Amino acid sequence: MPDLDEVLVSAARLRICAYLSGCAEAEFKAVADYCGMSAPTLSKQLTALAAPGYVDIRKVASGRYTRTVLALTDTGSAALRDHVAALQSIASRASDEALRSR
């Protein structure tokens, strides 16, 4: 059996990484809106993704305000790719096994 990434087993963290994989960077609010998460929930999930280096979190001055900008790192991109491949392998094996047992 292929190994799943323990960090990405969480549907919330998987969703965040999948969204970030489609762009160079994204603002915190855009990710929260897409993922349907409150700011505190997203913040907690981002902390878990930043710890192994999967997501880069930057504060950017924008006039009187500070924006939080997020980006998937190369490490995060590789982890996401490997995790998705493991999921596909598991699904494929299950499908193959089901066909053999008919």
pTM equals 0.89
Sign (positive or negative) of CA dihedral 3, 43, 35, 63: negative
| Domain limits, the chain | 11-100
* Stretch among 18-22, 31-35, 51-55, 97-101 having the lowest mean pLDDT: 97-101
Cα–Cα dist 10/20, whole Å: 16
Instruction: Check whether 100 has a pLDDT greater than 90.
Output: no
Q: Beta-carbon neighbour count of residue 43 at 10 Å?
A: 14
Average pLDDT (39-47) is: 97
Question: Which position has the higher pLDDT, 95 or 62?
Answer: 62
- Residue 38 tokens read as 């409150």
Instruction: Check whether 102 has a pLDDT greater than 90.
Output: no
Instruction: Check whether 98 has a pLDDT greater than 90.
Output: no
Instruction: Check whether 8 has a pLDDT greater than 90.
Output: yes
Domain range 11-100, CATH class: mainly alpha
Dihedrals phi, psi of 21, to nearest 5 degrees: -70, -15
Instruction: Check whether 1 has a pLDDT greater than 70.
Output: no
Average pLDDT (23-33) is: 97
